Amino acid sequence: MSTGLLGIGSSALNAAYTALRTTGNNIANASTAGYSREITTFEPTVQTPAGGGMYIGTGVDVTAISRVYSDFLGQQTNLAQAQASQADTTATLTQQINSLFSSTTSGIGTSIDNFFTQLQTLSQAPNSSAARTTTLSAAKEMTSQFNDAQAQLETMSQSATQQLSEQIQTVNQTVSQIASLNSQIAVQQASGNTPNTLLDERDQAILTLNQSIGVTTNSQSDGEVNVYLANGQPLLVGSQTFALTMGTDPTNSQNTIVGTSSGGSIVPIDPNNSGGGSIGALLQFQSDTIPSVENQIGQLAVSLASQFNSIQEAGTDQSGAAGQAMFSTPTIATTAASTNTDAGTVSLTASFSNTSQVQASNYQVKVEGGNYVVTRLSDGTQTTFTSMPATIDGMTLNFSGGTPANGDIFNVSPVQDAASTMSVNLTQGSQIAAGSALEATTGSSNTGSLTVGNLALQALPNNPNANLNNTVVLNFTSPTSYTYTTGGVTSAAQTYTAGQAINVNGWSLTLSGTPASGDSVTVAATGSGTGDNRNVQLMTQLQNQGIVGGQTLDSAYSAVVGSVGAIASTANTDQTSKDAILSSATSNESSVSGVNLDEEATNLMQYQQQYQAAAQLINASNTIFNALITDINATG
């Protein structure tokens, strides 16, 4: 290249043109996601000696077209993106549960209230077949509300699984994309080039990856980056990718786990420490949020069904028969880990011992050093038993099929599925046991002042007395003594004290007043078609008893509403704040890397003028040259 004026003009023209192109590219990509603005850097070319110890400039060189990018701000944006995606997904997911519980005039709570209202109406007219039918319908409506709620939660859980698998696919595709960019960048860098577009693309891909799952990156000297999950497992090392997969938790077949495979098994991402991203939100929703709501409504279902059944079974229905369970009897689901030494032979059995103590939680039973460590998963409380069977939180645990080996793990879900399996067993309104099983009647020829007080059935139905329904006649031989006769057998003389309970055959009777000799009291089965409402009154009283882990049904349900609301409201707040952080991080990053069109307009003017000036230089050089030639011609 010529080093003279023409050379300078030419290099200036070239530099201005390059700068104009860069500016043009910036303008063209002003709205391109992930694009980092580029700047052209110039340097004067080497000066040449001009004699007399002077040097003179020879023009300008374009030394670099570099992208304006801050690693630090990029990382910040990635982190903010992972958290914001998690918060967004969580907010969307929890909003669904929130909607499920948003009506104050329908849903589980209303149907429970309605059921008890119908029972109260039944207590006014125990013989009314209309009241009985309505009560049974209200019971069915209530169970279907429980079923529906659980079904909707299950649908949400399934949809979360579906979304997980889509997200996993996205992650794997993105990781492959990063891998291929890695190798292209390495090749370019090795040949001394700075592949701005590829770097932008890779940064954008990593950002996309963070939308799905929070990752950390580690830049290598050859220009490649390695990508790791929050649990330290790599997704990408150089150009080698590790696929993210979904599977079943070997220690608890009910849990879905996500992670990379290592030695044939999945190293799971901890749902509570996932690093963020939609996958983190979905895992948490599936493993924590859904089970916790299911457990709470399941706890309601189990307590209500079993306590109600106890009362119903202790009573007498309209035909005079003993009441049959109104609701299906709740059972407990258990699973054994597939990794157990005795997998397939030893299983855990669990049954309810006191449903009012049942907690809204799943449990893990682990054999450690010959002891059985039972962990309540809702709060992590551990209880160690040295032998089985053992009773904890209203249920009795035992092993069948042998003794489990050390390290074996079993899972117990006492109430998680209860809301979906709750159903009404009775088919006829007449089967509602509105009456008590027994009735005490004073003899019609009694002459004393004896009156019947409270007649209670003891220890029912868990330990019923086989003779409970047998007719017992108390015969008073004096104001202070009596014998009782049942099944043709007369007891020895007993002492009578007014107000003191008389216990026979599993019932307890309190009499008051003074009997005359020859007076009698008969305790016998209530019989059919009576207007006895004693048992239905016990049923209605359930509404205000602490039968759900010490809380009443209403307050337990309102606690469900409160906790669902709190989950959704926290998610909303979290979403707002995480979005604000993301927006600020993005704004910070774009204030460095983003294109400002006004700035580009000034650049455009600047380089355009530089170009015009350079062209003028060439023109000047030409003019000078022409003048020289003309002069030579003229003189020559």
Stretch of residues binding other proteins (CB under 8 A), selected from 51-59, 124-132, 269-277, 362-370: 124-132
Task: Please identify, using beta-carbon distances, which residue of 45 and 545 lies nearer to other proteins.
Answer: 545
* Contacts of other proteins in 540-559 (CB under 8 A): 540-541, 543-544, 554-555, 557-559
Contact residue for other proteins among 204, 312, 430, 533 (CB under 8 A): 533
Q: Is the peptide bond before 461 cis (omega within 30 degrees of 0)?
A: yes
Cis ω for the linkage preceding 389 (within 30 of 0): yes
- Rounded Cα distance between 263 and 243, Å, is 13
Query: Among 615, 607, 617, which Cα is nearest to 58's?
Result: 617
Among 47, 400, 403, 451, binds other proteins (CB under 8 A): 451
Q: Restricting to residues 6-25, which ones interact with other proteins according to CB under 8 A? A: none
Tell me if 452 contacts other proteins by CB under 8 A.
yes
DSSP letter string over 270-333? Answer: PGGGS-SHHHHHHHHIIIIIHHHHHHHHHHHHHHHHHHHHHHHHHEE-TTSSBPPPSBPPP--E
Backbone angles phi, psi at 323, to 5 degrees: -60, 140
Indicate the residue among 109 and 414 with the shorter CB distance to other proteins: 109
Backbone conformation region of residue 407, classed left if phi is above 0, alpha if psi is from -120 to 50, else beta: left
State which of positions 30-69 bind other proteins (CB under 8 A). 30-31, 37
Q: How far apart are CA 317 and CA 433, in angstroms?
A: 4
Name the residue nearer to other proteins (CB basis): 115 or 363.
115
DSSP letter string, 145-199: HHHHHHHHHHHHHHHHHHHHHHHHHHHHHHHHHHHHHHHHHHHHHHTT---HHHH
Q: Which of residues 342-371 bind other proteins (CB under 8 A)?
A: none
Binding mask 598-617 for other proteins (x = CB under 8 A): xx-xx--x------------
Which is closer to other proteins, CB of 127 or CB of 349?
127
92 counts as binding other proteins under rule CB under 8 A: no
Looking at the Cβ atoms of 288 and 342, the one nearer to other proteins is 288
The amino acid present at 149, given as its one-letter code, is A
**Sheet bearing 215-219, strands edge to edge:** 215-219, 225-229, 234-237, 240-241
Count of residues that interact with other proteins, criterion CB under 8 A: 80
Q: Are 416 and 374 in contact (CB under 8 A)?
A: no
Q: How far apart are CA 516 and CA 524, in angstroms?
A: 21
For the segment 467-506, give every residue that binds other proteins (CB under 8 A). Answer: none
| Of the candidate residues 49, 104, 492, 632, the single one contacting other proteins (CB under 8 A) | 104
- The yes or no reply on residue 316 touching other proteins (CB under 8 A) is no
Cβ nearer to other proteins, comparing 177 with 603:
603
| Residue ranges in 566-585 that form contacts with other proteins under rule CB under 8 A | 566, 568-569, 571-572, 583
Assess 117 for contact with other proteins (CB under 8 A).
Answer: yes
Residue with structure tokens 């799971």?
268
Our finding on whether 77 is near other proteins (CB under 8 A) is no
Of positions 20, 101, 138, 416, contacts other proteins by CB under 8 A: 101
Please, which residue, 60 or 131, has the CB nearer to other proteins? 131
